[in-house]
Every structure is written in C-alpha cells, then in structure tokens.
Homo-oligomer: A and B are copies of this chain.
Amino acid sequence: MADATTATAPIHHEVLAAVLQVRQGTLRVLLWQRAMEPHAHRWSLPGGLLRMDEDVETSIRRQLAEKVDVRQVSHVEQLAVFSAPDRTPGARVIASAFLCLVPSHLDPELPGDTEWHQLESLPDTAFDHRAIAVRARDRLRAKLSYTNIGFALAPPAFTISALRELYSAALGYRVSATNLQRVLSRRGLLEPTGRTTRPGRAGGRPAAEFRFADASMAVTDAFAVLKPPGQQR
C-alpha cells in the first residue's frame, strides 16, 4: 500500500532463482506453474518478495527452501537486476536474479506444481523469466571454463567419464574426458579418492574415483593474458 510520507509509489523488490541441475544428460531449470493470474499456467522461476530484515542472498535461500531443500543447493551467486518498469503488470516489481546449482546426484522432493525443464526447450514462461534462465545458463557455461564451478554440478565423488557427461550437458557440446581430466588436474582441482568403481556388465577397466579439492567457487584461470610481468602461468 502507498506510504503517505513517500513522494513516489512503492516499488516492490523480489528475488528470483534460476536453479540449474544436470538431469538425464541435459541441463535443466526448476520452474513452477502459476495457478493464478497474471500469467496463469505459465512457468515461473521460484522466488518471492524480499523481507525487511534480509539481504537478497539470504532471501533467495529462504524462498528456495519452499521448493527444494536448501542444503542441497551447492552454489548461489547474483546474476543481475531486472528492472524494466513494465516487466510485471500492476505494481512495479524489481527482481534480483540468482544462479543456483544443485549437484546431479540429488533428487529433491518437489511440490506438485514444480518441475525440472530442459533449458533448450523451455515451456511458456511468465514475465521475463525466460531471459533470466538463459542468462543463468550462459553464466554457468562461461564459468565452467575459468573457475572450479564444476564442483557444484558434481556429486562428492565421481569418475572422469561421469564428470565428462556433466560438463557436456552443461556446455551443450561433447567434452573429451582426456582433456577435461588434464585441464582440471593441472589446475589442482581434482584429487583421487583412491577408490575405483566396478565396471558394468559389459566389462571394461574399473574407473578411478575423484573428488573436487574445493567446495567453494574460485577463479582458477584469471589473467589469461596481459599477466603481471614475471608471472608465467
């Protein structure tokens, strides 16, 4: 409601999450289907209004808890503000959008109105949520190249070929297991668990198991060019 002491009409602030996970070999985003107008039946990103006592990151974690167990979210980062005056009908709402990741081995319980949708074939989306989801996908793809963010898509332990499938699904093209292992190893991101997995019925050599050395995001390939002098990579 309007505050009589302010000269401007109130602007509401919401937080929205593009929660991404690799499922069944494709990159997917969590969407819920709106029951009511506006944009009834269309699919929306989870989120909601910011509360007075929380910053935007605290808020998105709280709101996400209504859709998925927050402890299953392995990474949260700000994407951008979406603020077009007409991005929603009626009262003005500014959105702070987030990229959130869930590791592939988890399968959170979901409310009935919620589903994982392939990013490459999104259904009818509400408001500007399609643009937000696409932005999240692009941010993830870029960061797979120069950060250790793969840890947030992968289970605690994995084989190189399992990791290759995660990277391939997220990036949208086939990644070579050989090169993936070398790039991540040279950067010191991977460490062997010492264990191996048993081959399937078809046989084959048992695969060595690895884990990511760190479970928080760090830039691993900064200053690709124009490095400070005397600092060969």
A residues within 8 Å of B by Cβ? 1-14, 34, 38, 44, 47-57, 78, 80-81, 83-85, 88, 90-94, 96, 126-127, 142, 144-146, 167, 171, 173-176, 179-180, 183, 221-226, 228-229
- B53–A85 contact, CB under 8 A? yes
- A49–B9 contact, CB under 8 A? no
Q: In whole Å, how far is A57's beta carbon from the nearest beta carbon of chain B?
A: 8
Specify the main secondary structure of chain A where it touches its partner.
loop
Pick from B4, B53, B221, B223: contact of A91, CB below 8 A: B4
Residue ID in chain B nearest A142 by CB atoms: B222
- Give me the 4 closest cross-chain CB pairs, A-B, nearest first: A4-B91, A2-B12, A2-B93, A55-B83
CA distance A143 to B14 in the complex (A): 29
- B14–A11 contact, CB under 8 A? no
- A11–B8 contact, CB under 8 A? no
- Determine the chain B residues whose CB is within 8 A of the CB of A144 once the complex forms: 226
- Determine the chain B residues whose CB is within 8 A of the CB of A2 once the complex forms: 12, 14, 48-49, 88, 91, 93
